[in-house]
Each structure stands twice: as C-alpha cells, then as structure tokens.
Amino acid sequence: MQTSGIPVEIERKYLIEMPDLSALSGLPGCVVSSIEQTYLPDPAPGVTERIRLRRFPDRVEYTHTVKIRLSEVEAREEEETVDETVYRDLYSRRDPALQTVKKTRYAFPVGKQIYEVDVYPFWERTAILETELPDASLHAAIPPCLTVIREVTGESAYTNRNLARRIPPEPDAAL
C-alpha cells in the first residue's frame, strides 16, 4: 500500500514458541540472515530512524530507514539501500541510550505471504513472527509449523526500538 508515494507497511506481530530452526531453515524458499539494527536519535515524536546491517550467506546489505507510525498496525516507511561508508557515518550518530539489536531472521513464503521469524540471542524459548498484510483489518494465517503464544502487534515492549532500550524478561512460552 502507498500513501503520497511513500509505502505504508501493514504488519502483524506475534510472540511464538521457539520453532525448530533447522526445520524452518529447510522450508522451501527460506532465507536466513543475521541482522544488526541500530537506532539514531528520533528526528520527531512518532518518527523512528534506524540503520541495519544484514548479512546473507552471499552478500551484506546496509539500509537506512525512517518510519512514521500511523497506527498499531500501519507505518509509513522510507527505506533506502546505502553503501558501507554512509552506513558507518550514520552509525557514528547512533543514539547512545540504545543498544544495537542483534537477531537472526528466517524469512519464508507460504503461498503469496512472506513470514519472518526473528530469533534473538537473549531468549531461548520464544521468538517473534512478523508478516505484512495488504489490509489493516486482516489477520495472518499462521503457518502450521509455528505455535503462537499471543499477538503482540501494538505492544511497545516488543518493538525493536524498545528492545534496544530494555530487553524484557523472556515470556513464558506456555501462556
């Protein structure tokens, strides 16, 4: 979806039980990457700016993103690929109050839908599932290989920016 030429991301987020990662990485079309996400000082209220270093088996990508939250489910997102020099310059402006968030992402298609499972080094029993949807009123059809504990869309404790500020205790996977 786009508004004024700027893409609008419609995303649902779920806290899930830690999946079998070898089975997940073996799914058709699954792409595994490691991500380091660093936040810059917020340019304005409700606006988040970040940089991301993403390592794939065959390449490294650097991105710069400005995200404007429109609702719990929707955000306007301006994202651009940058080179390593620009990335390092932006990194030098990182917010000193926030840690870099490190995670491993397992992205895989189910039909026309892409699912992303983020595994964080600070949790052993749980992970986060994200998927983008074409309409804010829709809910994701959860792949059968994943077990949802609960939807956390809109829960600030589970945003990556807040994880950079304070890592919450690992939720009980049996909730």
pTM score above 0.85: yes
pLDDT value at position 1? Answer: 44
Name the helix (H) or strand (E) containing 85.
helix 84-91
pLDDT value at position 74? Answer: 73
Spatial CA neighbour of 11 closest among 138, 149, 168, 99: 138
Quote the strand ranges of the chain, DSSP E.
2-3, 6-17, 31-39, 47-55, 60-69, 74-82, 101-110, 113-119, 126-132, 148-151
- Quick check: helix, strand or coil at residue 134? coil
Q: Which two structure tokens, joined as six digits, stand for 115?
A: 């699912």
CB 132 within 8 A of CB 11: yes
pLDDT value at position 125? Answer: 95
How far apart are the C-alpha atoms of 158 and 163, rounded to whole Å? Answer: 7
Please determine, for residue 175, whether its predicted confidence score (pLDDT) is greater than 50.
no
Model confidence at 9, pLDDT cuts 50, 70, 90, reads confident
Q: What are phi and psi of 142, to 5 degrees?
A: -80, 130
pLDDT digits (tens, 9 = 90+) for 92-142: 999 999 999 999 999 999 988 899 999 999 999 999 999 988 777 777 889
Strands 6-17 vs 31-39: parallel, antiparallel or unpaired:
unpaired
Q: How many CB atoms lie within 10 A of CB 57?
A: 7
pLDDT digits (tens, 9 = 90+) for 105-116: 999 999 888 999
pLDDT value at position 6? Answer: 62
Q: How many CB atoms lie within 10 A of CB 34?
A: 14
All domains in the chain, ordered by first residue: 2-165 (2.40.320.10)
